[in-house]
Structure 1
Amino acid sequence: MLKAVIFDLDGTLTDSDKVHFEVYKSFFAEHNIELDRDGYRQKVSGRQNNAILADFLPQLSAAEKEDFSDRKEETFRYLAEGQLEPLPGLLDLLSQIKRLGLAAAVVTNAPPENAAFMLSELWLTEAFSPIVIGNDLPRGKPDPLPYQTALDKLAIHATEAIAFEDSIAGIRSAIGAGIKTIGMTTTHSAQELIETGAVEAVADFTDPYIQTCLNQML
């Protein structure tokens, strides 16, 4: 029986990846690295900064990587302020979740400052519990640990939850924890998400499949 709905943040609650892409593109250009949309989808989306920089800028020292990450995220928050909106259907779904007495949680690889910022921008600061931050754990997505941590905090089994994810790393994390996962096509194609393991891929939370899935699990 369904007891919890678990959401990713970037690209799932809101289409923030378009801002992240522009910021990464600009910052990588400072190092003579050209980043296109395909490169962003395959090597950046949904991953933690330390893993991204290990691939793109392995020559940077630990201090330089930390400075890069801090500046990049500060720039993201500056550019995203006032620009973020919930994906269509999200607020109605959250109201339904509350009426049904289900838990709503967030599992994200976003730094804690970004997570707090985005939830505040969306007026959803109090909407989720727990909020699991990948940076607070020994391993972030695509490792299953963030979703396993959410299940532990909720005191439920994987079969009692459903997850929404937009990234390849996120889907691998959720299904690795045994959670049925619906993909969001804000960043990747439906085919990519389903091939990674999503049971279905939808554009937003108004898709009728979501209600069908919830009804089957209640």
Structure 2
Amino acid sequence: MLAAILYDLDGTIVNTDPLHFRIWQALLKEHGIEIDEEFYKNRMSGRLNPFIVRDLFPEFSSEEVIKFSDRKEAEFRELAAELTPIPGLLEVIAWADERGIKQAVVTNAPPENAKHMLSVLNLEHRFERVFVSQEIGMAKPDPEPYLYALAYFGLNAQQALVFEDSPSGIRSAVGAGISTVGIASSQTPSELYDLGVMLAIPDFKDSQLWKLLGKSGVGSGRVGVGEES
């Protein structure tokens, strides 16, 4: 039986990628680096800022990497008020609440960002825990963030369901052995399936998701778009 739902934050609870892309694009342009959406999707989405900055600016000192990352996230928080939850999210949260299913966020976002985004979305009190990779000590795509969440709740992988959108997040969840539903906010459904999700959906209103939830459990088979589950 399903006992816990674990949600990624960026791109899953809220589609932050367009905003992150806009900020990265502007900041990098100051340094003569032009990026497009494809570059962002393949090289940046879902990764930790220090790794992104080190890849782009190998000459930066550790202090410069931190300063650049902090500036980027400060600008993100300034603009975060324009964000809204992915359609259908509140219905899934309410469905799980009614059934006593534990719910938590597992994110690579900086702690201050995670707290700020959930506050802006009025979701700060809807989850039992927010697991931040920085505080766990290991980040996605390593499975440890999701394994840590399972251990916290005293559950095994078969008792949980993950919602994710990015390659790094999906690799983390699948690597932890948890059935994963991909939200196609930053990747195509076919890309999500190639990464190992059991179902790829555009948002939480998708009828196939509700068929899956209606079983009161999670299967291991892949459900294709347009197929009967």
Q: How does 1:73-152 map to 2 (within 5 A)?
A: 73-81=73-81, 83-152=82-151
Tell me the distance in 2 between the aligned counterparts of 1:138 and 1:91.
30
Q: How many residues align?
A: 217
8 Å CA contact 1:139, 1:145 repeated in 2: yes
Q: How does 1:1-218 map to 2 (within 5 A)?
A: 1-81=1-81, 83-218=82-217
Tell me the distance in 1 between the aligned counterparts of 2:101 and 2:45.
29
Instruction: Say what the alpha-carbon RMSD is for the aligned residues.
Output: 1.0
TM-score using structure 2 length: 0.92
Q: CA deviation at 1:217?
A: 4.5
Question: Which amino acid letter does the alignment assign opposite residue 33 of structure 1?
Answer: I
Q: CA deviation at 1:10?
A: 0.6
Question: Which amino acid letter does the alignment assign opposite residue 37 of structure 2?
Answer: R
Question: Which amino acid letter does the alignment assign opposite residue 26 of structure 1?
Answer: A
Tell me the distance in 2 between the aligned counterparts of 1:198 and 1:204.
14
Tell me the distance in 2 between the aligned counterparts of 1:113 and 1:17.
18
Q: CA deviation at 1:85?
A: 0.8
Where 2:215 maps in the other structure, the secondary structure is helix
Tell me the distance in 1 between the aligned counterparts of 2:62 and 2:171.
27
Q: CA deviation at 1:137?
A: 2.5
Where 1:163 maps in the other structure, the secondary structure is strand
Q: CA deviation at 1:211?
A: 1.6
User: Deviating runs (4+, > 6 A) in structure 1?
Assistant: none
Tell me the distance in 1 between the aligned counterparts of 2:100 and 2:137.
31
Q: CA deviation at 1:97?
A: 0.3
Q: CA deviation at 1:179?
A: 0.6
Tell me the distance in 2 between the aligned counterparts of 1:31 and 1:134.
29
Q: CA deviation at 1:125?
A: 0.3
Q: CA deviation at 1:206?
A: 0.4
Note the alpha carbon deviations across 1:46-103, whole angstroms, 9 max, x for none: 111112122211211000000001100000011222x111111111111110001100
Question: Which amino acid letter does the alignment assign opposite residue 50 of structure 2?
Answer: N
TM-score using structure 1 length: 0.97
Question: Which amino acid letter does the alignment assign opposite residue 8 of structure 1?
Answer: D
Question: Which amino acid letter does the alignment assign opposite residue 134 of structure 1?
Answer: S
Question: Which amino acid letter does the alignment assign opposite residue 100 of structure 1?
Answer: R
Which blocks of at least 5 consecutive residues in structure 1 are unaligned?
none
